[in-house]
Amino acid sequence: MKKGWEIKKLGDVCVFKSGTTIDSKLEKEEGEIIYAKVGDMNLDGNEDYINRSSRYVDSIMINKNQLIPIGSIIFPKRGGAIATNKKRRIAHPTIVDLNTMALVPNKNINKDYLYFWFQQIDLSDLSNGTSIPQINNYSFDNVYISYPHSLNEQQRIVSILNEAFAAIEQAKANAARNLQNARELFESYLEGVFENGNWEEKKLQDVAKVFERGKSRHRPRNWEGLYGGQIPFIQTGDVRNANKYITNYTQTYNEVGLAQSKLWKKGTICITIAANIAETAILNFDACIPDSIIGFYVNDNKADLNFAYYLLQYFKAELQKLGKGSAQDNINLGTFENRYFPFPPLKEQQTIVRQLDALRDEMQKLESVYQKKIDYLEELKKSLLQKAFSGAL
């Protein structure tokens, strides 16, 4: 260890403080003191410091011991939220709920030094690994922090990290903006294709060999006897997460599952009609789909598969609007019964597809470049933190 530095248990330089429950009758939409729950870490403006909340309380209504001291760091301590690895700083009078825990630095440790050091810690590694993950005081028994004795040296390290991280975040923002510009360029071209065409209007059913909802007849649908075989079972999330082609899946049917469903061919366009509505992607293998997805198998004598996919991408926002208004957004087969879409002659469709595919390929190359840059910047942050807390800065 570098001279002037030491390693101590985390509990030697800070106090662990758990949240509390506030009577809901005391909660207000505005007030003197923030009452933060884990979900409030996701609010705009709370990316670093907790600056606002969906709930507040007045100081006269609480015990002052419930307050989390300014300069503390809070994080989720219970349930799936632990895996999000979120850490936030306290800069205003704040109370947190029982699912939240705080690190309160003592006089020997700079609050910002502690915050940067804590970024290295994966909260999932601290949880107890039970069905409902938990973090408590004992979770930190074997967690050690290295730091210089001098508060001035701690502040020097913090200043370097603040400057470096600000530059990294700006570079990430620039890369993300360039990535978004590449996507918008493709969307603009797609819009130009479908807004400038003067083509025959047809229903999707008119150009389909098959156009119907998937099948999942067994009730309850989550009966474990349907699953665990070799047959891919595509769900709405798999469609949403696909990049044009569905190449991955998270669930499989066995033969019992297949018997109460239907196997769709590779090349089927999947259209989600519940949960994530109007998302589309093309099956890259034979698979089963549930009744929350429409299977659209194109008649290749009447339409080009890829043209139909791009067409649905363009009309996605319009279809989503049609699904608004119920308790849960959804569309159905009836949505398409009287809905017409523009289809040029087949050869023109194929020409358009070649142009769109070429532009999409270029866009994906740009996405790859920008994503690699963002990933590199994240690794650079990790490297800086490692150097900072080993005394190498």
pLDDT digits (tens, 9 = 90+) for 102-149: 999 999 999 999 999 999 999 999 988 777 899 999 999 999 999 999
CATH number corresponding to 200-343: 3.90.220.20
* pLDDT interval class at 92 (50, 70, 90): very high
Question: What is the biggest distance separating any 2 CA atoms in the chain, rounded to whole angstroms?
Answer: 79
Examine the pLDDT at 254 and tell me if it is beyond 80: yes
| Chain mean pLDDT for the chain | 92
Q: Residue 53: is its pLDDT beyond 80?
A: yes
Answer whether residue 303 shows pLDDT above 80.
yes
pLDDT band at 327 (very low <50, low <70, confident <90, very high): low
pTM given for the model: 0.71
What is the per-residue pLDDT for 122?
94
Position 262, amino acid: K
Two tokens, residue 3:
């001279």
For the stretch 212-241, pLDDT in tens is 999 999 999 889 999 999 999 999 999 999
Give pLDDT, residue 58: 87
C-alpha to C-alpha distance for 218 and 222, rounded to whole angstroms: 9
> Which range has the worst mean pLDDT, 15-19, 45-49, 197-201?
197-201
> 338 vs 195, 203, 204, CA distance in Å?
20, 7, 10
What backbone torsions phi and psi does residue 302 show, to the nearest 5 degrees?
Answer: -115, -25
Question: Structure tokens of 24?
Answer: 């809901």
pLDDT tens column, 258-290: 999 999 999 999 999 987 899 999 999 999 999
Average the pLDDT over 157-183 and give the result.
91
CB 77 within 8 A of CB 46: no
Distance CA 30, CA 53 (A): 9
Which residue has tokens 């949403």? 240
- First CA to last CA distance, the chain: 13
- Give start-end residues of each CATH 3.90.220.20 domain in the chain: 5-148, 200-343
5-148 belongs to CATH 3.90.220.20: yes
pLDDT above 90: residue 3: no
Give the SS3 label for residue 288: strand
The encoded tokens of residue 350 equal 């194929």
In this structure, are residues 192 and 277 in contact, taking their beta carbons and an 8 Å threshold? no
Least confident range of 44-48, 327-331, 353-357, 377-381? 327-331
Pairwise CA distance, residues 216 & 220, whole Å: 10
